[in-house]
Amino acid sequence: MIDPPYDRRLKPSEVASLIADVDGVIAGTEPYSAETLAQAKRLKVICRVGIGLDSVDLQYCQENGIVVTFTPDEPSQAVAELTLANILNLARHIHESDASVRLGAWNRFVGSLLCELKIGILGVGRIGTKVVKLLEPFSPQILAYDSDPSVFGRPLPNVTWVPEDELIAQSDLISIHVPLTRATYHLFDRARLSRMKTGAMLINTSRGSVIDEVALLDALRQNHLRGAALDVYEHEPYSGTLAKLPNVVLSAHIGASARQTRFEMELAAAQDCVRFFSGEHVRSPAPMETPAELAGRQSR
């Protein structure tokens, strides 16, 4: 195991250098492309701290016998709580009020109670389910959709299960909780954003590439959407034009950045690594796409 000498997200060349002579990696969100992994002749396991695997070339790992593990349960509560914070922030214009006070403007924005809103939860897995339960005391009407037939229709408080198109068209606020796959890449493109209600709000704490950021920028500039809150971006660190809009809340991929959560994720990844080298069973994600589908997504 190695301790990276940088206090930031690693670049591909830095990852390649650091993993060139190791047997296992406890990995963050740094990129593990095929070109990078090809430099690691001894590598046997990548233990990902967190749930997202879009930064790892799973096809290369599968073809070269590199086991990939992840910690899908540990970050769920922290991401769900950040989502709730963003819902409350957008509903009550907290970020805009803060900015007005700092400028001496004293703008008293009128927001909405959550019970007034139809909140769409797109993706009701580990995190989406926790968001629904955190919202229960506020009694909003929740519209939910999940592409997994084993999930769609489960009884949850205040939830009405609807088709995806209906959720997009009727929700006052949509929170996205889907993995990044070929099917969800730019899921919220110009067409889907245009089908959202005028004045609706959008939250993304899943993966940045689920949203077409250029199309989102236009929807906000044209006042079709009232606001957005993003914790993830197509390219991180983010430095784009959305940062100039007053009705956008931006955070630096802090969904899992809570003390207890970080401890639990890092411990779980380390335990996976120990188990692997001890010959025990480890948590490896079921393939979500075929190698051909993964290659198609990674080329986009």
Active site residues per annotation: 207, 236, 253
**What is the distance between the alpha carbons of residues 224 and 31, in angstroms, rounded to a whole number?**
35
- Pairing mode, strands 173-176 and 118-122: parallel
Three-state SS letters, the chain? CCCCCCCCCCCHHHHHHHHCCCCEEEECCCCECHHHHCCCCCCCEEEECCCCCCCECHHHHHHCCCEEECCCCCCHHHHHHHHHHHHHHHHHCHHHHHHHHHCCCCCCCCCCCHHHCEEEEECCCHHHHHHHHHHHHHCCEEEEECCCCCCCCCCCCCEEECCHHHHHHHCCEEEECCCCCCCCCCCECHHHHHHCCCCEEEEECCCHHHECHHHHHHHHHCCCEEEEEECCCCCCCCCCHHHHCCCEEECCCCCCCCHHHHHHHHHHHHHHHHHHHCCCCCCCCCCCCCHHHHHHHHCC
Tokens standing for 55?
């930064």
Angstrom CA distances, 29 to 9, 87, 237, 262, stand at 7, 25, 12, 13
Residue 92, φ and ψ in degrees, nearest 5: -110, 5
User: Angle at which helices 259-277 and 76-92 pack, to 10 degrees?
Assistant: 150
